[in-house]
Structure 1
Amino acid sequence: MTDTCCLTTKDFSTLEAMLQRRRAFADPIAAVLEEKLSQSRVVPVDAVSPDIVTLNSRVVFRIDAGPLETRTLVQNETRGPVGSSLPLGTRRGLCMLGMARGQTASIEQADGRRERIAIEAVLYQPEAARRALQEKPARRPAALTLVYSAPWGSRPLGEIGKIRQTEDNDPGPSAA
C-alpha cells in the first residue's frame, strides 16, 4: 500500500478496532489493515502536521491519471451527502489515511488491478482546525454602546400593563 504513513493515536486506535471486527468476519481487507498498522508512524493528535490526511479531513486527490476529486474521509459510509465522502473501510480510504500532501501510493484493488493515488491537497484537517482555534487570542467584548434611550417613566420592555376594570371589579359578560 504505502511506504510509510503518519497516523494520529486516535486514527491508529480506530484502525485497530476495525481490524478486530474485520478479522472476526474473515474480511479480505483485514490483511490491508494489518499492513497499514505495521507500516505506520504514530504521533499524538496535537502533533500531527496539517498536511497529513486524518479521519474527517477534506482531501483533493487523483486516481491514476484521472481528474482531481475532492472527498471527506469518514469512518461511516452513511455520513454526509452522497459523493462527498470516502469511507475509511474502502481500500482507497484506508490507503489515504496517514498520507501527506504530495505523496503517492499504489494499492491493489479486490479484482487484482493496481491503481495509484496521489494526494494533491488537504483542504481541511480537524486537528489543525482545533489547534488554530486554541491559538487565537481571546477576544474581549467591545465597550457597550447605548443605542436607545426610553423617556423617563415609561414601562420597561416586556412589562405587561394593568387591565382597567369597572368600579365593582366585575368586568361583566363582555369580558368573557
Structure 2
Amino acid sequence: MTRTVYRLTAKDFAVIEAMLMRRRAFADPIAPMLERKLAESRVIAAGAVEPDLATLNSRVIFRVGGRSSQTRTLVQAEASAPVGSGLTVATWHGLCLLGMTVGQLALAGRLDGPAEEVLLEDVAYQPEAARRAARDPAAERPRHVLKLVHSAPAADWPLGGRAKIRQTEGDDPGPSAA
C-alpha cells in the first residue's frame, strides 16, 4: 500500500491488532501488511464516522485495477456474510479497503504478484452512520406509510354471509378439555 492515512474505529483497530498477533505467531505473509495498516491508521470515535468511510460491516463499491466494479460487505470472517457477498479483511483487498474514504485510491501490495490499485467508489451502507441517523429524530428519513386502498362497510360480509357467534351457551367443554 502507498503512504495513505486510513481512519479506523477503535473496534476495527482492535480487530486488525488481534489478527496481527495471531498471524505473527504463524509467520503469515499478510502480517507485514497488517503492521503497515496499523502504522498508517489513526483511530476515530465511532460517533465521528462519516457515511463515506469504509468500516467493518460496510457495503462498499470498489474497483481493482481496470476491472469492473464490485459490491461487497467488509466482514471480519468469511462465515459472517452470505456466500459471495462478503469480503473479509483477512484478504489483500479487504484489508486495503478498510479505513478508506470514497474516492481514495491505494495500492494493495502482494507477496505473490504486483501491487494492485484499489479505488473505493462508494459506500452504499455505513453501519455507524446508519445507527446515528436512526437515533436522531430530526434526521430526514423516508417514512414508510401504509395506505388504505379499499375499505368495506362493517355490515358487508364476504359472499353475502352474515356474522355468527362461534360459541354459544352450552358449547363450552369446560376446563377438562384444556
TM bucket by the smaller chain?
Answer: 0.7 to 0.9
In 2, Cα distance between equivalents of 1:164 and 1:95: 70
- Residues 1-176 of structure 1 aligned to structure 2 (within 5 Å): 1-2=1-2, 3-136=4-137, 162-163=170-171
The ranges of structure 1 where at least 4 consecutive aligned residues each deviate by more than 4 angstroms after the TM superposition are 158-162
Unmatched 5+ residue regions in structure 2? 139-152, 155-163, 174-178
Unmatched 5+ residue regions in structure 1? 138-146, 149-153, 166-176
Deviation at 1:58, TM superposition (A): 0.2
> How many residue pairs align between the two structures?
151
After superposition, the Cα gap between the structure-2 partners of 1:11 and 1:163, relative to the gap in structure 1 and judged at 3 Å, is same
Matched residue type, 2:19: M
In 2, Cα distance between equivalents of 1:120 and 1:163: 69
After superposition, the Cα gap between the structure-2 partners of 1:160 and 1:116, relative to the gap in structure 1 and judged at 3 Å, is farther
Aligned to 1:140: none
The 3-state SS of whatever aligns with 1:132 is helix
Instruction: Calculate percent identity across the aligned residue pairs.
Output: 51
In 1, Cα distance between equivalents of 2:11 and 2:93: 19
Q: Can you list the C-alpha shifts for 1:69-127, whole angstroms capped at 9, x where unaligned? A: 10000101122222211011001100000000000001122313111000000000100
The 3-state SS of whatever aligns with 1:50 is coil
After superposition, the Cα gap between the structure-2 partners of 1:161 and 1:94, relative to the gap in structure 1 and judged at 3 Å, is farther
Bigger-Rg structure (1/2):
1
